[in-house]
Chains A and B, each alone.
Chain A
C-alpha cells in the first residue's frame, strides 16, 4: 500500500518535473519563433523585456494571466471553458511517451528518460494528435459566432485529411523498424545504410535517407496538422478575423496558444524520433558520442523547429481548395505507393525485421 503510494508520488514528481522543463523549453521556442520571423523580415523582434528580449514569453504569460476572462453572453459556457483545457491537456499528455534519451535518468534506478515506455507508443501519439481537433471544434462551436464556427469546420476538415497521410507515413517507418515502441524505433536506426557500407554508426543510418519522400510528406503534414503557416487557414486573419479564437481572451486564449506550441514541439519530436535518429549522435565516434543523448535530442528538435519557423516566415498561405488537393490528390497517393514499395523492398531483399 505504502509502496504503491510512493510509486505514485514518484511518477507525479517526475511528470511534473518533465512538464516544467517542457514548458520552459516551449517558452523559449516561442521567443525563438518570433525572433526568426523578425530576422527574415529584417526587424528586431522582441528585444525589450530582459537581455535580447529573453523574458518576453514570461511577460506575455503574466499579461495573459492577469487580464479579465470574457465569456460571451450567447456562448455555450461549459463547452466554451472546456475547449482550451482540452487542447492544452491533450498536447501535454502526448509527451508522456516521448523517449528523450536511453537508459536510466542520471543513474537513478527507477528513473528513465521516458515517463511511460508503452508498447503502442506511436499509436498513442497518433491518437492524441488526432484528438487535437476537438479543442478547435468545441471552441468554435461554443463561441456561438459566425467566424469561429466557419474556422472550426475548416480546421476539422483539414486535420482529418492530413491525418490520413501522416498515418501512412508512420506505417512505412513501422515497416522498417518492426515495432510500435518509440524507443525501439530509435534503436532500429543504430544500423542502416551507413553500417551496411561498413561505416560506424552515423546519420546515414537514420530513416530520413531511405524514406526521404516520406520525411518531406511528414514534415508538410505536421505543419498542416498543427495549423502552422502556410496551412493556418483556421486563423486566417484576412478571412476569419482570428478563427476559432476570436471570442477568447486572457487565460483560455493562453491555453490555446500553449497547446498549439506544445503540439508543434511534439510534432518536431515525432519527426526526430521517426526520421532523424532520436537521441543518437550524428557520428558514433568520440567526442560526439560523449555528449549525452538528451542534448542531441534537444538539438535535433530545435533544428526541426527552426525549419518550422522558417517556413512560417517564407511561405504564403495556401488557398483552401489547394490545401485539400495537396492532401488528398498528392500526398495520399504518394504515401500509399511508398508503403507498398517499402514493403516490397523489405520482403524482396529479406530485410524485414
Chain B
C-alpha cells in the first residue's frame, strides 16, 4: 500500500512538473521544474528496485547536466515573448510526436499484458540474489563490453571535437607557469650586486 502511495506521489509530481517545464514563463523556472521531474523519476526507479539507476540519474542528470543547462539559461539574454509566439506553429508536430511515443508505450506494455511469456525474451533477464549494481556490471562489462567501449569513444571524440573548436590560444596573455616558478632556485631568482656608495645601480 505504501508503495502504491509513493508511486502516485512521485508520478503525479513528475507529470505536473513536466507540464510546468513547458508552460513556465521564466526559463530558469523551467529548468528548476525539469530538475524536480528528474528527481521524481529517480524516486520511481527506487520503487522499481533499480536503486543504482536512480542514483546515477541524480548524479549525472541533476548533478551535472542540469547545472550546465541552468548555466546557459541564466546567461542567455533572449526575448522570450518573441520566442513564445511560434508556440501554435509547433503544436501540431509536438502533438504528433507525443502521440507516437504514447502508441509505442501502449504497444510494448500491451504486449507484456497480453502474453506474459514475452517478458522472458528480453536480452538480459532480471538476475536473482545479486544487487542490481553487480548485475548491471556483469552484463555491461562482459556481454556488451564492445558497445560500452564504443559509446565511450563516441563521447570522447565529441569532447575532443568541442575543445578543438573552441580553444583559442591568445598571444600576449601573461600566464602563470607553476612548474617554472617552483623550479626557481636562489641562484636564478636573485642577483647580488655590490653597490658603490653614492652611485646607485
Contacts and interface: CB of A to CB of B under 8 A. Distances in A.
Interface of A: 1, 4, 76, 79, 118-120, 123-124, 126-128, 130-131, 133-134, 137-138, 141, 149, 153, 156, 160, 163, 180, 321-322, 325
Interface residues of B, number: 25
A127 B51 contact: no
Given A138-B32, A180-B133, A133 B176 contact: no
A159 to B, nearest CB: 8
Interface in B140-167: none
A247 B32 CA distance: 21
Q: Which 4 A/B pairs are nearest by Cβ-Cβ distance? A: A130-B63, A123-B55, A127-B58, A127-B59
B67 interface: yes
A124 B55 contact: yes
A138 B32 CA distance: 9
Given A79-B29, A137-B67, A180-B133, 20 more contacts: A76-B28, A120-B55, A123-B52, A123-B55, A123-B56, A123-B59, A126-B59, A127-B58, A130-B63, A130-B64, A133-B67, A134-B35, A137-B70, A137-B74, A149-B74, A153-B74, A156-B70, A156-B71, A180-B131, A322-B176
Nearest to B74: A141
Contacts of A130: 58-59, 62-64
A125 to B, nearest CB: 10
Interface string B187-199: 0000000000000
A141 B51 contact: no
A130 B131 CA distance: 24
A40 to B, nearest CB: 26
B2 interface: yes
A97 B199 CA distance: 74
18 contacts: A4-B1, A79-B32, A118-B51, A119-B132, A120-B133, A123-B52, A123-B55, A127-B59, A130-B58, A130-B63, A131-B58, A131-B62, A137-B70, A160-B63, A163-B64, A180-B133, A321-B176, A325-B178
A122 to B, nearest CB: 9
Residue from B58, B63, B132 with most neighbouring chain A CB atoms (10 Å): B63
A156 B32 CA distance: 15
A134 B31 CA distance: 12
B178 A4 contact: no
B3 to A, nearest CB: 11
Contacts of B176: 321-322
Contacts of A321: 176
A119 B133 contact: yes
B76 to A, nearest CB: 13
Nearest to A123: B55
B63 A127 contact: yes
Given A119-B131, A127-B63, A4 B55 contact: no
Residue among B26, B29, B59, B70 with max Cβ neighbours from chain A (10 Å):
B59
B28 to A, nearest CB: 6
Contacts of B51: 118-120
Nearest to A149: B74
B52 A120 contact: yes
B35 to A, nearest CB: 7
A141 B52 CA distance: 32
